[in-house]
Amino acid sequence: MTALSLDSLRSARPLDSRGRVEILLLAALTAAAAFGFDRVFGDLAATARIMGAGVFALLLVTLFETRNAKLWLSAPILAMGMLLYTAYTQLPATMPFGIPRPATASGLWDGLWSGWADGLDILLPLESTGTTSVLLTYFAWIAGAACGYLLLRWRHVVWPLVPPLVLYGVTLPLAAPAPASALWLPFLLAALALGFLAFRANQRSATDVSVHTAGSVGNVLSQDFQQRTSARAIARSSLPLVLVCAALGVAASLVVAFGSNDPADPRELRPDNVAPEAIINPLTEFKAVRNLNPPVGALALDLPGQEDFSAIDRLPVAVLDAYDGAGWESTARYERRRSELDDPSDENSIDLTQTISLEEVRGPWLPAAQRPIRIDLPEVLFDSETGSLVAPDGVEVELYTVVSRIPVAGTSDLRGAELGGVDDRYTTLPAQVSADVLDLATTLASSADTPHGQTIAIVEYLQTELFIDDDAAPGHSLGRLQKFLFEEKRGSAEQFATALAVMLRTQDIPARVVVGYDLAAASDIDGDRALDVTSEHYDVWVEVPFDGFGWQAFDALPSEAAAEPLPEEVTGTTIPAPSERNVSPEPQPSEASPSEAVEQAPEPRQFGAWIFPALLVAFFAAWLLAFILMVLVSKRRKRKRRRMAPTPVGKIEGAWADATDRLLEAGVEMTPDQTFSEIAVLGAEEFGDGAATALRALVPDVAANAYSPGEPDAIAADRAWQHADQFRKDSTEGRTRRQRVSEKLNPKPLVKSG
């Protein structure tokens, strides 16, 4: 009896034929779960590398456990194996001679830190190598290793299935926007789980009852209890779990594939990839680009299938929609897109294809006529609100073809059109706008009763009463615009456009400033039907939205540069001079140089940088909490199950197993060849003679139960549990708080022990 009882305390066991079948079923289940990443990568080789990580980790754990390797030794080896496997399968480009380098270590760390976030940044399929594939390899490896430990160190029937099912769950949110769903995969997972549960439940030995002396009544009762326990385990664990897994898998697949034309995609929850502060404000360098002498090439534009270029007269680059009194900025939030960009339903529009070859004038933006709906680049950053395009970091774009949906509207169409419904930010102004600017804009707008007429009235005033001066000082703060409108009355295209936008907004007319290229003066100088656009065509204008016609461009620049501004007292001027009432204007924001503007810019939001590490920490914290709860609940259920054994034999064995569990919690090492009395001596050495009194009192009942030919009675069983409870109480009272917490959470009694 002694050898048989204590043998169950070993941390591992040699595998019999059923055990090998369990390993093979778990390996197949892990591989099938990892195959769910096939929809993420669209590359069988990439998926196979991740599948191999799970299977290899499971087999490695099996090797360690069947050799009785200590956990403190096997766990570090497994961690190092995970890093080496990931490096050689996912990061071979960082090891030109097959030897890991600092770049390899950096890639392994980046995968852990930002792999999940990078996986949600872009559309599917993901690249077969990179930070996301590194993280998913980690997931598969950990799932395979957890399978092995739960199988070989745990008695529970269902727990070994949890890691592969969690691994499959990871594939579902990543593959949500994939075009097709693997309907067969959930059924395969359910079938493998059913097979594993059948083998596991039938192989399970009685948790609380050991084999007794041959021929005794206790032996018959113990075997009967074992058989009934296995039958209940199959009925209670196998069938419901398989049905739930199959139902959830099929339901998730159906929802992803057919439930919606716009399936739930966690990428939509991710903060935008590019903050507006990360892109240089084009107005800060507008004058420098415009005044390059001699002009340099900006781009070559061709319109395939078009006889002429009359379809578009401007090529936007960047849209600025926020004004704080010191400068115009963009609030664009860029998302990674591929090929299909947008599908606006604007009426009265045409689709126009443009082939654009970029030349010397460069920036992060990709010029395109509004509004781009398709592009032939593998990946771009796109702001759906403004239609702006940006090349991804580190990507040099030379040539691309883009299709834009351009609204078609004549002057007569816009005269009676209402303003388009847009966000309030297009009418927002700082509180420091002076009364002079407000009065001037109000007076001009009062001459018309439609939004288009009011816009034209302000445009015509700027065209006729102010003058172009390309050498005017740059800047568009409120103070600079005040001087431009009422003192100097001359300025560059920058001041004309920004002043028009501010004056329109004072009348609640939505307006935004657009920087791009004016194609009216560009020409085909090479005879290849492509417009040659240079830096001298760099321009800035204002756009106003109209219902049914989208954003329409308005340019307030006079047709020719002026020699001198007209004096204010010239007769015939229909616009009154600014009001001379005694107004104490609020302080005007001063103009900032480009360097100062950068220093004054608000700090970029760190939400995107920290949300996924925080979620990762929360995920592991939740698993840690679940593990703690599972240990506590499992221990309590185990004691209750032992105490409620159907026979006195089982109850006495359960009392001794509970006492030895207490020793295991305290870290006492026991071997199968030790006797009951020797184990009681170990308890006295660990807890003291007083605390071990109840343990020594338990030994006679346990020894009689093991070796006496007679059957113990219920009184002996109750006495055994009284001794076991007293031993647990006495051994706990003498421990420090740290020891009590550590021993309570110690999962060692839950491994394959009695």
pLDDT by residue (tens digit) across 73-118?
Answer: 888 888 898 988 988 888 887 877 778 888 888 888 877 776 666 5
Tell me, what's the pLDDT at 497?
Answer: 94
Q: Which residue has the higher pLDDT, 525 or 420?
A: 420
Mean residue pLDDT of the chain comes to 76
Tell me, what's the pLDDT at 618?
Answer: 67
Q: Within 154-233, where are the H helices?
A: 162-174, 184-203, 217-233
Q: How far apart are CA 316 and CA 372, in angstroms?
A: 11
Tokens coding 623:
């698993």
What is the signed CA dihedral for 287, 439, 444, 548, rounded to 10 degrees? 70
Q: How far apart are CA 704 and CA 62, in angstroms?
A: 38
SS3 for 402?
strand
Please say whether the beta carbons of 499 and 530 come within 8 A: no
Tell me, what's the pLDDT at 664?
Answer: 85
Please say whether the beta carbons of 140 and 114 come within 8 A: no
Specify the DSSP element, H or E, that contains 552: strand 550-554
Specify the DSSP element, H or E, that contains 86: helix 71-90
- Going by pLDDT thresholds of 50, 70 and 90, the confidence category of residue 269 is very low
Tell me, what's the pLDDT at 599?
Answer: 38
| Torsion angles phi and psi, residue 380, rounded to 5 | -140, 165
**Mean pLDDT throughout 62-71?**
82
Q: What share of the chain is helix, strand, coil (3-state, %, to 5)?
A: 55, 10, 35
Tokens coding 707:
């070796």
Tell me, what's the pLDDT at 523?
Answer: 74
Tokens coding 408:
């078609």
HEC per residue, 133-169: HHHHHHHHHHHHHHHHHHHHHCCCCCHHHHHHHHHHH
**Mean pLDDT throughout 234-241?**
50
pTM above 0.95, yes or no: no
Q: How far apart are CA 40 and CA 137, in angstroms?
A: 13
Question: pLDDT digits over 557-595, tens only?
Answer: 887 654 444 444 333 333 344 333 333 344 444 444 433
Lowest model confidence (mean pLDDT) among 36-45, 96-105, 327-336, 350-359? 36-45
Q: Which distant-in-sequence residues (6+ apart) come within 8 Å of 678 by Cβ?
A: none
Residue 101 CA: distances (Å) to CA of 84, 111, 607:
12, 16, 32
Count Cβ atoms below 10 Å from residue 701 Cβ, excluding itself: 23
Q: How far apart are CA 121 and CA 272, in angstroms?
A: 8
Question: pLDDT digits over 278-291, tens only?
Answer: 456 788 788 888 88
Count Cβ atoms below 10 Å from residue 139 Cβ, excluding itself: 22
Evaluated on CA atoms 724, 725, 730, 732, the torsion sign reads: positive
Specify the DSSP element, H or E, that contains 374: strand 372-375
Q: Which residue has the higher pLDDT, 216 or 470?
A: 470
Tell me, what's the pLDDT at 462?
Answer: 93
**Mean pLDDT throughout 422-434?**
87
SS3 for 432?
coil
Tokens coding 387:
């239609």
Tell me, what's the pLDDT at 754?
Answer: 39
Q: How far apart are CA 720 and CA 656, in angstroms?
A: 8
Lowest model confidence (mean pLDDT) among 244-253, 507-516, 665-674? 244-253
Residue 127 has pLDDT above 80, yes or no: no
Bridge partner residues of 369 (DSSP) = none
Give residue for tokens 């005044």: 291
Lowest model confidence (mean pLDDT) among 167-176, 428-437, 586-595, 704-713? 586-595
Please say whether the beta carbons of 691 and 659 come within 8 A: no
Q: Within 405-545, where are the H helices?
A: 411-415, 435-445, 451-465, 478-483, 493-506
Radius of gyration for the alpha carbons in the chain, expressed in angstroms and rounded: 38
Q: How far apart are CA 484 and CA 482, in angstroms?
A: 5
Bridge partner residues of 323 (DSSP) = 328
- Side by side, the strands of the sheet bearing 297-302 are 372-375, 399-407, 349-358, 297-302, 531-534
Q: How far apart are CA 643 and CA 121, in angstroms?
A: 55
Please say whether the beta carbons of 336 and 360 come within 8 A: no
Tokens coding 437:
């600017």
One-letter amino acid of 483: K
Q: How far apart are CA 318 and CA 288, in angstroms?
A: 17
Residues listed for the chain:
754
Bridge partner residues of 302 (DSSP) = 355
Tell me, what's the pLDDT at 509?
Answer: 93
DSSP 711-745: PP-HHHHHHHHHHHHHHHHHHHHTS-HHHHHHHHH
Please say whether the beta carbons of 469 and 561 come within 8 A: yes
SS3 for 655?
helix
Tell me, what's the pLDDT at 316?
Answer: 92
Q: Within 507-606, where are the H helices?
A: 594-600
**Mean pLDDT throughout 410-439?**
86
Q: How far apart are CA 585 and CA 596, in angstroms?
A: 25
Tell me, what's the pLDDT at 416?
Answer: 82
Q: How far apart are CA 626 and CA 620, in angstroms?
A: 10
Please say whether the beta carbons of 506 and 438 come within 8 A: yes
**Chain-centre distance for alpha carbon 81:** 26
Tokens coding 131:
């930070």
Specify the DSSP element, H or E, that contains 636: helix 607-643
Lowest model confidence (mean pLDDT) among 45-49, 261-265, 290-294? 261-265
| Torsion angles phi and psi, residue 295, rounded to 5 | -60, 150
Give residue for tokens 């700027």: 462
Please say whether the beta carbons of 702 and 676 come within 8 A: yes
Tell me, what's the pLDDT at 182?
Answer: 57
Q: Spell out a b/e string for 193-232, using b for 16 or more CB atoms within 10 Å of the CB, else e.
A: bbbbbbbbbeebebbbbbebeeeeebbebbeebbeebbee
Q: Which distant-in-sequence residues (6+ apart) come within 8 Å of 95 by Cβ?
A: 87, 88, 101, 104
Tokens coding 488:
């100097």
Determine what percent of the chain is predicted with pLDDT higher than 90: 14
**Mean pLDDT throughout 191-211?**
58
E strands, 226-361, in order = 297-302, 314-320, 322-323, 328-329, 335-337, 349-358
**Mean pLDDT throughout 531-552?**
89
Question: pLDDT digits over 37-56, tens only?
Answer: 877 776 788 888 889 999 99
Question: pLDDT digits over 639-661, tens only?
Answer: 888 888 888 888 888 898 888 88
Q: Fill in the DSSP letter of residue 451.
A: H
Tell me, what's the pLDDT at 394?
Answer: 67
